[in-house]
Structure 1
Amino acid sequence: MASGRSITFAPRRAVLAAALSAVCVHAAAAPSCARPVYLTFDTGHMGVAPLVAEVLARQQVRVTFFAAHERTREGDGSLGAHWAGWWKARAAEGHEFASHTFDHVYWRADLPDGRFRMQASAGPLEGQRQTWTEAQVCAEIDRAAQRLRELTGRAPLPLFRAPGGKTSPRLLQTARGCGYAHVGWSAAGFLGDELSSESHPNAALLEKALRTVRGGDILMAHLGIWSRRDPWAPAVLEPLIVGLKERGFCFRTLREHPDYRAWIAARE
């Protein structure tokens, strides 16, 4: 009882000083981030998605996911009901999300009349060449962003990644006009998980990334690639994260990237 009275009637100045001291100690202990890298994942068949989530949680790394509604090994597509809980859990862990177009639609060409030649690799028009207006391009990017909002309960970043990274200056201008900045990846940030595992084995991809990645790089991998026989993530993801940490790198989401911070803040 006496101890309780002592806490209750302690001078406010002393309590405030103790609180400030605790804040300072916490701030001093927080790791600095002089060499950030920005790990991003595009969707895919989702076969390695549970493993990716486990590794990121164990390593306490937050990433940015670019999502399209792609065909998956199980369930009704990467943005379908089957994977809804997975996306919700990633949001609770503090990851960020952005559009990869809903039907994973590739830019193929700018047309003389101001429209675009596009080709979806998912959805009901998979494989078909289409002619789109600027409004249709914006609607396709929006569609994935809105679905991410429904799944995660959070606003996605006002960013998008074109499938294959294929764009034109006019396509990028169109996207910015409807509120989306495009994000590609750094040369060393292409982690190679979509390449043939026969010609690009996992050990070689890991060695190359650890040797060539530099501070500020945007790294890109997938949540499953159909064509790769020896999956990349089980063999490379955690050793890559550990190895980069040992070399003094730290991981941040694109919300903190200097090229996008102001763009994002202006649209929130």
Structure 2
Amino acid sequence: MNVHVPSVTLNNGVEVPQLGFGVFQVPDAETSAAVGTALEAGYRSVDTAAVYGNERGVGAALASSGLARADLFVTTKVWNDDHGYDATLRAFDESLGRLGLDYVDLYLIHWPAPARDLYRASWRAIERLAADGRIRAAGVSNFPPAHLRRLAEGSALVPAVNQIELHPGLQQRELRALHAESGIVTEAWSPLAQGAVLGDPVLTEIAARHGRSPAQVVLRWHLQLGTVVIPKSVTPERIRENIDVFGFALTDAEMASIAGLDRGLRTGPDPDTLG
């Protein structure tokens, strides 16, 4: 399968494939096969995290893929328990060891964990990793506007990415507008709402019109918004279907119809309460 995935340029000039492969909730023993299938299908970006417990599986798939490291984009994240300057540096070293890599392309603070109030110290550690060339880009995940603004206080480095829950049922317009103003790329996790929105008549009708699946329509919607998107699957047919979204386009009217589906539907935790 020969698929060309367009790239989005981050605020430091680094390019990230606009569609990548996520491995949230994939057991480590199954991760290598799933990532291997994704790489064969044309994905070149893989998103993992320390807390997923599958960085070793990701690393094994990358090592056996035969692909040049420069052609791959690897993201991982520091977990809440490792917030703080020294703890974040240690956590990064451990992630790098599990991945079997010399550097990662994007390193994120996974959640702000406001009750611990250490994310600014973690950000200083990530700034150091960026300055040392051990990460190509630095970002955050699940940061609401208030925490993004607080992170900016006294920080010279603007996050390249904020990875957030984003799908037609939770469109996060205020946060996306702040990203646009600040030069931060929006990246969507749970881009299909874990399937919760796929039966909506608006999406099924658009899908029928294009001869596509509702999931493909939602992924296409993300791409046309300019979002970086990381769908997850362990099913080879679904992995291939999810990347086959570049041969059609949604009309302005269809985009407007999907915009009307926002209902504040969260499939994951609220970032203001997860510690």
- Band of TM-score, shorter chain: 0.3 to 0.5
TM-score, scaled relative to structure 1? 0.46
Higher relative contact order (CA 8 A, sep 6+): 1
TM-score, scaled relative to structure 2? 0.45
Q: Larger C-alpha radius of gyration, 1 or 2?
A: 1
